[in-house]
Amino acid sequence: MTIYIDGNHLSLKEVEQVARFNEPVALDPEAESRIQDAHRRLNEIVATDRAVYGINTGFGIFADRRIPRKDSATLSRNLIISHAVGTGEPFPREVVRAAMLIRANTLAKGYSGVRLEIVETLLEMLNRGVTPLVPSQGSLGSSGDLLPLSSMALVFTTDEKDEEKMSGWAEFAGEVMSGKKAMELARLPRIRLGPKEGLALNNGATFSAAVAALAVCDAEKLLHLSHAALAMSLEALLGCRSAFDPRIHQVRGHPGQVRVAKEVLNLIRGSSLIDLAGRVQDAYSLRCAPQVVGAAWDTLEFVREIISREINAATDNPLLFEDGDVLSGGNFHGEPIGMAMDYLAIAMSEVAAISERRIFRLTDGKLNGGLPPMLVDSVEAAGLNSGLMMPQYTAASLVLENQTLSTPDSVHSLPTSGEQEDHNANSMTAARHARKVLENTAHVLAIECYTAARALDLRLRQYPQAQMGVGTKHFYDLIRAEVPYQPGDAWWGPEIEQVKRILMEYPIGDVIFSG
């Protein structure tokens, strides 16, 4: 189904559909009219001698330098060429596609003054599979993501020389080639930029927003998976139901906390393993999981709101308004995204941290309620077999890495452009770190599910008449359908990767948790 963008109603789910699943995209007719109206207003300004930043002046520290009208195209092209200086590994394809969509949506609002063909070209590149190669490091996210957006624009913009070596790099039909060649093979003409169009393309924290949009989608899935992991561990450890009683969570009133407790109760419904040990209460990693993971849910909802607004925002500078005013401001500044990504990284780091504590508890023979140490097949096998000793090491390592990665990036700033840009957001670093935290958290949760599944095998050997909860058994069966129990030591690493793939590909939503 084609997704129509109009500058105002793009959803995070739609970003994911286009970025990851190649959903076709088109421009809403009303947005076409707004884009054309804004371009007309821009042409009226260009026809006067009025000095307007970015249209007939230099950029940044050179904002006081007037540029002759005859040089406006060169001004835009020079901006793109000179600013495409990033470094590091290229962004994943999905991030670049998300950024292209978000940038097109920004321009579709009708405040930037670009020609209609600029937006249409971005959308056709998405539809035909032309993906620029964009370095992932070098952006401060304050005058926008200048470097990555310029690298993206290199591919579909040109000048009178039309040199292949100045066209950047792109992936098309599974091959990496020059941007010029990719556009030719896709039968898309490259564009000579007009007044302000270079600035409209690279001014805005769009790549930060693209990483953030996909991170929000991933975080929601991981939080659901954390409930499944928790439920499996709770049953394997013969945990207490009382800590999930809705009355406890309602009197505190945090929506995320209430949600976690409700979903875990649904997952363990029908379990005869719960409360089997007769304990009064469990350790915090079980008993306080609704409070910890619930706080992550509440953080995610806040972050979702911020990023949803950002992907529908006008973020370049200056902006052209219907009354003829051209206003120079700072909507390109990535502070909202940087802070939001810091919050999300902290929240998801805690989800991984409490998961690792449950992994530790499952493998410790003094804490796991009578299961063999390291979950070896039997106590007699301990020593000859190491069991799941090392997966817990891996989880601990990833949690420690998360603790470093979730140290806030948005509080750090260095001045640029001769102090004209004297406070920078560092939003791209925050977004990249949050993405890595999510990757690490996914692996920790896979280790917990893998470990808990083995613990359940051993527990059911102790209590052959016991039953798992309906939701817990669903996830246990999902794992065991592809990864059978192995009595002795095995190469656990590939099996854990397989479990992670199973869980991340599973279409998790509210249904499996709602009962």
Catalytic site residues?
Answer: 53
Concatenating the DSSP letter of every residue in 319-334 gives EE-TTS-EE---TT--
Phi, psi angles (nearest 5°) of residue 301: -65, -40
Q: C-alpha distances in angstroms, 365 versus 274, 362, 382, 452?
A: 19, 8, 11, 14
Beta-sheet strands, E only, within 330-435: none
* CA atoms 93, 99, 105, 111: torsion sign: negative
| Inter-residue contact 144 to 199 (CB < 8 Å) | no
Which H or E run includes 351? helix 335-363
The rounded distance, in Å, linking the Cα atoms of 301 and 408 is 19
The rounded distance, in Å, linking the Cα atoms of 195 and 364 is 67
Q: Tokens at residue 344, please?
A: 């999300």
Alpha helices in 130-245 (DSSP H): 146-156, 179-185, 197-202, 206-236
Task: Classify 317 as helix, strand or coil.
Answer: coil
Query: Closest Cα partner for 319 from 56, 66, 120, 42?
Result: 42
Q: Tokens at residue 411, please?
A: 């509080």
Task: Classify 513 as helix, strand or coil.
Answer: helix
C-alpha atoms less than 13 angstroms from C-alpha of 296 in its C-beta half-sphere: 30
Q: Which amino acid makes up residue 381? A: A
What lies within 8 Å, CB to CB, of 54 at 6+ separation is: 196, 199, 203, 317, 318, 328
Task: Classify 235 as helix, strand or coil.
Answer: helix
The rounded distance, in Å, linking the Cα atoms of 377 and 457 is 10
* CA atoms 435, 23, 136, 307: torsion sign: negative
